[in-house]
């Protein structure tokens, strides 16, 4: 079954990553399957935002610790809504194109080990952030074990919100994002 007939045969159904992996083997097939044009105004906005993300991805090539592919994924998504030429360029780019091509050709899925690593980062960063928000905004100058001495301006909503949003992110990643 070709990509064109695949789209017409299953217009309202989600496609499993395994099936797309078998059918989308070339950049042309990926572009044909995922590209959709928008209005002129939206396309221009998407191109500007996508270019900003590409700039950040390029910075990540030379700056240690700065992510590259993490910025290139939203750029490719925005280009898939606005410019076939730029979308094709993101899929064939020398630095991050192979990772994006694998992502799109497999039906926008992530390997299980990558999902676990990302979940670990979300939990770590949420914990660290919530601790510092609690330390500065809730505890203030009070004593650690004497809750009544906590004199910060925030009664605890800040650090609880950070933990809650982090848990939602982990849930979404582990249970809603497809795996390969």
pTM of the model: 0.64
Q: Is the pLDDT of residue 6 over 50?
A: no
Highest-confidence segment of 24-33, 124-133, 152-161: 124-133
Q: What is the mean pLDDT of the chain?
A: 84
Q: Which two tokens stand for residue 126?
A: 């949420």
Q: Do 37 and 117 fall into the same domain? A: no
User: Is 28 in the same domain as 95?
Assistant: yes
CB 106 within 8 A of CB 29: no
Q: Are residues 149 and 99 in the same domain?
A: no
Domain match, 120 and 87 both: no
127-164 in b/e form (b: 16+ CB < 10 A) is: eebbeebbeebbbeeeeeeeeeebebebeeebbeebbe
Lowest mean pLDDT among 3-7, 49-53, 138-142, 151-155: 3-7
Range of the domain at 49: 3-105
Q: Is 36 exposed, middle or buried (0-12, 13-18, 19+ CB in 10 A)?
A: exposed
Q: Which of 79, 105, 131 is a domain's end point?
A: 105
- Measured from the Cβ of residue 27, the count of other Cβ atoms closer than 10 Å reads 16
Q: Are 46 and 89 in contact (CB under 8 A)?
A: no
Residue 129's pLDDT band (boundaries 50, 70, 90)?
very high
Digit-coded pLDDT (tens) for 59-73: 988 998 888 888 999
Per-residue model confidence as pLDDT tens digits over 17-62: 444 445 578 888 989 889 988 899 999 999 999 999 999 998 988 9
Show the tokens assigned to 130.
Answer: 């919530």
pLDDT class of 178 with cuts at 50, 70, 90: confident
Q: Which residue has the higher pLDDT, 155 or 123?
A: 123
Domain count of the fold of the chain: 2
Query: Do residues 13 and 84 share a domain?
Result: yes
pLDDT tens figures, 67-112: 888 899 999 999 999 999 999 999 998 888 888 898 888 888 888 9
Q: What is the pLDDT of residue 23?
A: 56
Q: pLDDT band at residue 9, thresholds of 50, 70 and 90?
A: very low
Do residues 80 and 34 touch, judged by C-beta distance below 8 A?
yes
């Amino acid at each position: 079954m070709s990509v064109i007939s695949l789209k017409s045969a299953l217009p309202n159904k989600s496609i499993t990553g395994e099936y797309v992996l078998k059918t989308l083997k070339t950049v042309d097939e990926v572009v044909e399957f995922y590209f959709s044009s928008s209005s002129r105004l939206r396309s221009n906005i998407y191109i500007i935002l996508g270019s900003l993300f590409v700039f950040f991805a390029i910075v990540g090539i030379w700056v240690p610790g700065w992510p590259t592919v993490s910025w290139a994924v939203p750029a490719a998504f925005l280009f898939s809504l606005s410019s076939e030429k730029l979308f094709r360029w993101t899929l064939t780019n020398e630095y991050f194109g192979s990772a994006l091509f694998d992502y799109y050709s497999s039906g926008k899925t992530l390997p299980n080990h990558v999902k676990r690593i990302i979940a670990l980062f979300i939990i770590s960063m949420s914990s660290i952030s919530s601790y510092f928000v609690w330390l500065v905004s809730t505890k203030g100058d009070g004593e650690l074990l004497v809750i009544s001495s906590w004199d910060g301006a925030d009664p605890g909503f800040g650090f609880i919100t950070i933990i809650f949003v982090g848990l939602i992110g982990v849930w979404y990643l582990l249970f809603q994002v497809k795996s390969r």
